[in-house]
Amino acid sequence: MISPLKSKKIVLLLSNDITYDQRVFRIASTLEQRGAEVTVLGRLLPHSISVHWPNITTKRFSISAQSGPLMYAQLNQKLASFGRSQPWDIVVSNDFDTLLAGYRIASKSNAAWVLDAHEHFIEVPELQGRNTKRYIWHALGLWAAKRLDAAYTVSDSLSRLLSLTYGIEFLTIENRPIFKDLNLTKDKPIKNILYQGALNRGRGLDTAILAMQDLPHCKLQFAGEGDISDELKALVRRYSLEDRVEFLGRISPGALDEVTASAWLGINLLEGGSLNYYYSLANKFFDYAQLGIPSLNPNFPEYQRYIDKYNAGLIMDSITPYDFKHLVYGLMEDEAKYSGLRNGALRMKEDCHWASQEDALCSIYESLV
């Protein structure tokens, strides 16, 4: 059966570097496999590497401003200028920071306009205490909600919250990874504890570093970069933990799979000061399970729901160095408990992969054409 998306022109807009955005890659690939002609527009950063997504057109724009209102203004102008030069059937804004460009492009082409909300934008930690900026972004969201043709986000909890906040229906497309048919090593002689993702505030990263003072038989690895990379490295030096903490930097998705597969435990330690974090369902949570790795997670609704179902990891009621150390030691000393969590992760692996989201995703897009 021929998909209604065949030969439809779809453009996806991002404010970040598309190289490491696996959610956008999965969505673009699924739409392309249904016959759509997909273009992804993003940002060219100083650390950007070459990118090739088969059968998907990608273009990145260099912006002189690296942050703040000027960066958003420059980016949206460049996205809109390029996007308005071609006709489109569907325009997708990834998060609030590409809404203005998305509206201008969709209006020019008389195209359907979609929002993929990767997070609850006005509740991110970076906007806490910045009421003027928060108000502006919220006003933009309310304005866009009256004009969008569809919207979706990453978890059921966020869907309900965003639907109430903006008065339109948000559907759910979870951040599940592509199924990986890999030969996973059962024995983990080296106790590598892995964090993958942005090194930003509110993610329990300093907690994990401080706990390493009492975990001499483990190594903590960070795969990613972010706003507090230098602060975390300084903390490691302050406590002379260079032999126990390793910063891997930004690594390609393929290399990240290898690093994750060799890990003993994954960490996802979001702190509860942000509603965006509290209702989140991070891609790393699924990525760890897809490679058979149990994980430590915060006591938030979405993680608790999956842990209850699969027993694929542990919940931390409080994110402190003492609790971190206590749980890690408990797993080191109880091989049967660790084995049970690993088996739970493998069960979760079988169910929670990208193929389970594709039909729901395509039904959203097909309804627009």
Looking at residue 186, its pLDDT comes to 66
Three-point CA angle 231, 15, 352, nearest 5°: 85
Average pLDDT over residues 186-214: 91
For range 6-31, the mean pLDDT: 94
Measured CA to CA, the distance from residue 213 to residue 13 in angstroms comes to 43
- Radius of gyration over every alpha carbon of the chain, rounded to an integer in angstroms: 21
Give the count of beta carbons closer than 10 Å to the beta carbon of residue 239. 13
Residues 283-310, mean pLDDT to the nearest whole number: 96
Model pTM score: 0.92
pLDDT for the residue numbered 65: 80
pLDDT band at residue 183 under the 50/70/90 scheme: low
69-78, 186-195, 218-227, 277-286: which range is least confident on average?
186-195
191-351 has CATH 3.40.50.2000 classification: yes
For 324-353, the pLDDT digits (tens) are 999 999 999 999 999 999 999 999 999 999
Q: What is the pLDDT of residues 66-88, one digit of tens each?
A: 778 888 999 999 999 999 999 99
Provide the residue count of the chain: 369
- Alpha carbon 166 to chain centroid distance? 22
Q: With CA atoms as reference, report the closest residue to 62 among 44, 46, 50, 77.
A: 44
State the pLDDT at residue 58.
95
Q: Of 59-63, 83-87, 158-162, 294-298, where does mean pLDDT reach its minimum?
A: 59-63
Per-residue pLDDT, averaged over 252-258, amounts to 87
Name residue 308's amino acid: D
- Across 17-21, 250-254, 331-335, which has the greatest mean pLDDT? 331-335
For the chain, give the percent of residues with pLDDT over 90.
Answer: 81
Q: What is the pLDDT of residue 330?
A: 95
d(CA 107, CA 168): 20
**Residue 117 belongs to what H/E stretch?**
strand 112-117
C-alpha to C-alpha distance for 359 and 31, rounded to whole angstroms: 10
- pLDDT value for 48: 82
What whole-number distance in Å separates Cα of residue 222 and Cα of residue 194? 6
Q: What is the pLDDT of residue 339?
A: 95
81 compared with 253, residue with greater pLDDT: 81
Locate 12 and state its tokens: 């996806």
How far is 227 from 366, CA to CA, in rounded Å? 38
Q: Residue 184 pLDDT > 80, yes or no?
A: no
Any idea which residue has 């406590």 for tokens?
239
Whole-number average pLDDT of the chain = 94
27-50 tens-digit pLDDT: 999 999 999 999 999 998 887 888
Task: Please give the average per-residue pLDDT across 240-253, as a whole number.
Answer: 94
Question: CATH assignment of 9-176+354-366?
Answer: 3.40.50.2000
Q: What is the pLDDT of residue 129?
A: 82
The rounded Cα 142 to chain-centroid distance in angstroms is: 24
The per-residue pLDDT for 254 is 83
Residues of the chain with CATH 3.40.50.2000: 9-176+354-366, 191-351
Per-residue pLDDT tens digits for 214-244: 999 999 999 999 989 999 999 999 999 999 9
Q: What's the first-to-final CA gap in the chain, in angstroms?
A: 16
Q: What is the mean pLDDT of residues 1-19?
A: 92
